[in-house]
Structure 1
Amino acid sequence: MFYIALAVAFSVTVSVLLKLARRASVDVVQAIATNYIVAAALSFVLLAPSLPALQAPGAPLVPLTLLGVLLPAVFVILAWSVQRAGIVRTDVAQRLSLFLPLIAAFVVFGDVLSVHKGAGIALGVVAVVCVLWKRGTQRADDGMGGWLLPLGVFVGFGVIDILFKRVALAGAPFASALLASFLLAAVLCWVAVAYRALARIAPLSWRSIGFGVALGVANFANILFYVRGHQAVPDQPSLVFSAMNIGVVVLGTLVGTLAFRERLNRINVAGIVLALAAIAIIATV
């Protein structure tokens, strides 16, 4: 489980970096754009993807293109959510997004809905509502920071997972699909960076680029060690799955509440407990 512990640590590190970005006067778009260059380079060197596999007839170009667009867009939403809704609620929303591809498995991919799976999904939906719950409207942006941004994280990462499954079903190797998605995301991000720089909205900043390098290393390390965890115990995927998701929820909650003093109401806490239970139920399917 050493690899999973590292994957959990780097996943929460990404959230911490995004939380600190505003305090460090970092332009998030530039940081995310740099992140994808670093992640693509590390993918090419460490995962040794087969690029010709993506040129074969029937290659899933549409899902890959959508991934290239959605990855940076959802990453920006993730950054905003961490800054405004907090690490705890954002990390839980991201982990609960696994229930969307699970629902898609029944609706789109022809899987059979069992009582066990149905109970896990139902519990997960209740957990999402509880985690996003926020009392009062003391600030004008409570809608954004309170529930809309975490909801965007939940839906965005769920759709990304579904697209990766579509790519996998089409026979594209994971490493190749990951590299292609990172490269397209990097191109689109840098187009946005160039436009914002030329329009004098956000001049290029070495601080933001350097921050993006750290973000890219943490982002890729999270993926790499999660994959290595599955490779280390190939006969126990549910163990890896549950350890990763529960680990991120627990560590994210500890870091958010202790290091950044994020406040949770009783319903939010109940939602976190329900999220852990839902993940545990799905992991035993």
Structure 2
Amino acid sequence: MMYLTIAVLCSVAVSVLLKVLRQKSIDIRQTIVAGYPVAFLLTWLLLKPEVSGISKLDNAWSIIVALGVLLPAVFVILGRAIEAVGMVATDAAQRLSLIIPIVAAFLLFGEVLTGTRIFGLALGFLALGALIYRPKQTVNSSVNSRIKTSQITHNPSTLRTPLWLFGVWAGYGVIDILFKQVAKQGAAFPLTLFVSFGLAGLLLFIYLLITRVRWQGNALSAGLLLGALNMGNIYAYVRAHQMLSESPSIVFTGMNVGVIAVATIIGVGVFKESLNRINMLGLLLAVSCVAVLFLA
């Protein structure tokens, strides 16, 4: 259980770090690019990928290139979503991305879609809708209320709230599909992760150079922590599956429900994120979705 606990805490810590960086107006793109060399090195040290197997990746390269683009892009979207709706809804949406590989398995790979899975998918979509719900602001006679309402109406982050949350959900879901397809082609997970991290960091670094970004020392230093937390999450999750190989249900359910629970505690308790009744219903539906899809 130790590795499962570490995986949950590292996953939530990534969201906490991105939220703090947003509050301090730090360029998250620079933090992400600085984090990839750390993740790249830790993958080498902890997972020991067989680099000699690169020549055997063959058709997997198209998928690895896609991962190289999507991995940093989703991190940026994750930061935007946390800024717009908070940690609680964003982490729940990330966990709900598990329904995308299930839909893909039915539509693209010929798997049978059972009644239980249909019910689980319905719960997942209902959960997403509830999580992004924000009540309309009412205008009263108070000058301050009019100003506040005007700011909310013209705030791009508020207007794009559903898009950022959808991006997190869709992005992580597609990444999950890509990793599974690489595994089916015989490419080892450590090597895939190793190459993908290296490519993602390189592509993002080139992009920042082209856009002539003004480098921030605090953003780059925060990247060291981000890279360690990201790799810690992945390594601990893999080790949890190895240690509890006879009880995958504990790892699957514990990881998804654990992240939602811890993110809710920190988001509401520490960052004072507000949740309306519909949002809280969305959290309950998200947990139910995870449970139903596992049982399916």
TM-score higher than 0.5 here?
Answer: yes
Using the TM superposition, give the Cα deviation of residue 124 of structure 1 relative to its aligned residue in structure 2, in angstroms. Answer: 1.0
Residues 122-159 of structure 1 show CA distances to partners (whole Å, capped at 9, x for unaligned) of 11111111111112264222221x32111110011111
Distance 1:276 1:20 in 2: 26
Moved more, 163-172 or 23-32: 23-32
Verify: 1:219 aligned to 2:235, yes or no.
Answer: no
- Matched residues, number: 280
Q: Which amino acid aligns with 2:177?
A: I
Aligned-residue RMSD, C-alpha: 1.3
Matched residue, 2:7: 7
Give the 5 Å matches for 1:1-285: 1-56=1-56, 58-136=58-136, 138=149, 139=152, 140=154, 141=156, 142-144=158-160, 146-196=161-211, 199=212, 202-285=213-296
Distance change >3 Å, CA 233–CA 61, structure 1 → 2? same
Rg larger in structure: 2
Distance 1:224 1:53 in 2: 20
Distance 1:169 1:274 in 2: 31
Distance change >3 Å, CA 57–CA 240, structure 1 → 2? closer
Moved more, 264-273 or 113-122: 113-122
Distance 2:67 2:245 in 1: 26
Q: Is the 8 A contact 1:72 1:185 kept in 2?
A: yes
Q: Which amino acid aligns with 1:244?
A: M
TM-score of the aligned structures, taking structure 1 as reference length: 0.95
User: Unaligned stretches of 5+ in structure 2?
Assistant: 138-148
Q: Identity, % of aligned pairs?
A: 41
Using the TM superposition, give the Cα deviation of residue 57 of structure 1 relative to its aligned residue in structure 2, in angstroms. Answer: 6.2
Distance change >3 Å, CA 265–CA 57, structure 1 → 2? closer
Using the TM superposition, give the Cα deviation of residue 236 of structure 1 relative to its aligned residue in structure 2, in angstroms. Answer: 1.6
Using the TM superposition, give the Cα deviation of residue 5 of structure 1 relative to its aligned residue in structure 2, in angstroms. Answer: 0.8
User: Unaligned stretches of 5+ in structure 1?
Assistant: none
